[in-house]
Amino acid sequence: MHKIGTPLLLIALIFATLSFVPLGVFDVESEGLSNNASVITPEELVGKNDTPELEVMVDDRQEVKHVPLPKSVKAIYMTSCVAGTPTFRQKLVQLMQETEINSVVIDIKDYSGTISFPTKSAAWQPAWENARCGAKDMPELVQMLHDNHIFVIGRITVFQDPFYAPKHPELAVLKSDKQTVWTDHKGLSFIDVASKPYWDYIIDLAKESYNIGFDELNFDYVRYPSDGNMADTYYPQSVAGEYGMDRQANLEAFFKYLNEKLDEEDRFAEFKHSNTGRASSTPYTSVDLFGMTTTNFDDLSIGQVQDRAAPYFDFVAPMVYPSHYPNSFLSLGNPNDYPYKVVNFAMQSGVDRMLSSTTPMKGFLHTPITTTNASGTVTATGLYSKPVYTGDKFRTWIQDFDYGGDYDAADVRAQIQASYDAGVNSWMIWAPSNIYTKAALLGPEASTQ
């Protein structure tokens, strides 16, 4: 056994005792530490290393599923009456299943001014309660079409509105007495294009239509009236407005406003819009124009100009029905005898205008082109620079009804081919009867081509 001396034993005892004394008893000051520093306990250290819980955000909005835009839209038209008749509408669904048709245009608001489905909007409720036709189950109909991979386009007639106009004569087209609501030869009345309160009324309907599942909104009758005693008309809102009786400017102002409002994501944020096929949760839009807007460089006295409409819609649909052209068109005689020539010339003219960077038409987005001579004199050329688009901006309205002629499968198919040959690959077939010439259509394998 080793012996430890008394002095060494005392020193060892002192160090052993000091090792159990808390540091706080020493009066020590060093960099970053003082006798006032708090001591972190093990429990506190564990708490500081804990990862905070993240709050998970749940999107519990009702989901509205859409069908993405087809590569080429191939559509037929369905009236509100057919939409509300299950047996008839099922025949059209069967036609879509058995042919290349991949889209359908359904009336939301037609020439009557009434609407085709129950609404949550107090402003639009009378237009449903007095509806001429309609589908109480419109959301279910849209869903059924989506289940069949059909792209659903909702058609809204705009300024032709014999339901609303008599109730709001201050916004309507009046007779020259400035009191009586004007009507055309069919007894239909119109809203003055410059009636801004009515613009918001239309936007309200567009919002609800998209929120029940329509994939695209198609705007028709976007024009000043025609086909009546035009000498006996007065436009109270236009006359009092910013552009006076400049029909083109008033209509472009509406297009601009409509485009801006329907591009607002927040407007449709009440619902979760999914499977739209694009980053935006807003609807596609299209506009129907008179067929002769592709060939005319005036506004046809109704305000419509192709170059001033194109920037504000995803698609432009000229109604190039051969029956609606005069016998003098292309010196052909009866245009119904030449459906290919009429449609091809009309659409090729429209495509050429889309591709052109200049136009003789003034517009909000058009910049005057000038020349400067050697002396510095600036001279207007009469041309304007404009946005450029391709044939993909177009959809061709195809005639499948007998008006001025007897349209068979060859005539309908000739118009479709005429559209293709002009560089326009999307089309929509119009038949007021909703009875379509199946023999003019290819099989379902062509629906994605």
The pLDDT score that the predictor gives to residue 362 is 96
Question: All domains of the chain, ordered by start, with CATH?
Answer: 68-437 (3.20.20.80)
Of 91, 81, 77, residue with least CA distance to 115: 81
Provide the 3-class DSSP secondary structure of residue 109.
Answer: strand
The pLDDT score that the predictor gives to residue 369 is 98
Q: Kindly tell me if the per-residue pLDDT of 274 is higher than 60.
A: yes
Helices (H), 80-195: 80-83, 86-98, 125-129, 138-147
Residue 375 makes CB contacts below 8 A (sequence gap 6+) with: none
What are the tens digits of pLDDT across the range 31-68? 444 444 455 555 554 555 556 666 777 889 999 999 99
**Averaged pLDDT for residues 64-86:** 98
In the chain, count H helices and then E strands: 12, 13
The pLDDT score that the predictor gives to residue 24 is 41
DSSP strand pairing (103-109 vs 151-157): parallel
Structure tokens at 400: 């499948």
The pLDDT score that the predictor gives to residue 56 is 73
| pTM recorded for the entire structure | 0.87
Reading across the β-sheet that carries 74-78, which strands appear in turn? 315-319, 284-290, 216-220, 151-157, 103-109, 74-78, 427-430, 396-399
What are the tens digits of pLDDT across the range 406-420? 999 999 999 999 999
Reading across the β-sheet that carries 358-359, which strands appear in turn? 358-359, 378-385, 367-372
What are the tens digits of pLDDT across the range 123-139? 999 999 999 999 999 99
How many whole angstroms separate alpha carbon 287 and alpha carbon 155? Answer: 9
> By the 8 A CB rule, do 162 and 212 touch?
no
Residue 108: count other Cβ atoms within 10 Å of its Cβ.
25
What are the tens digits of pLDDT across the range 189-237? 999 999 999 999 999 999 999 999 999 999 999 999 999 999 999 999 9
First to last CA, the chain: 103
How many whole angstroms separate alpha carbon 422 and alpha carbon 277? Answer: 27
The pLDDT score that the predictor gives to residue 345 is 98
Q: Kindly tell me if the per-residue pLDDT of 26 is higher than 80.
A: no
How many whole angstroms separate alpha carbon 133 and alpha carbon 117? Answer: 9
> By the 8 A CB rule, do 205 and 156 touch?
yes
The pLDDT score that the predictor gives to residue 47 is 52
The pLDDT score that the predictor gives to residue 58 is 85
Residue 204: count other Cβ atoms within 10 Å of its Cβ.
17
Provide the 3-class DSSP secondary structure of residue 355.
Answer: helix
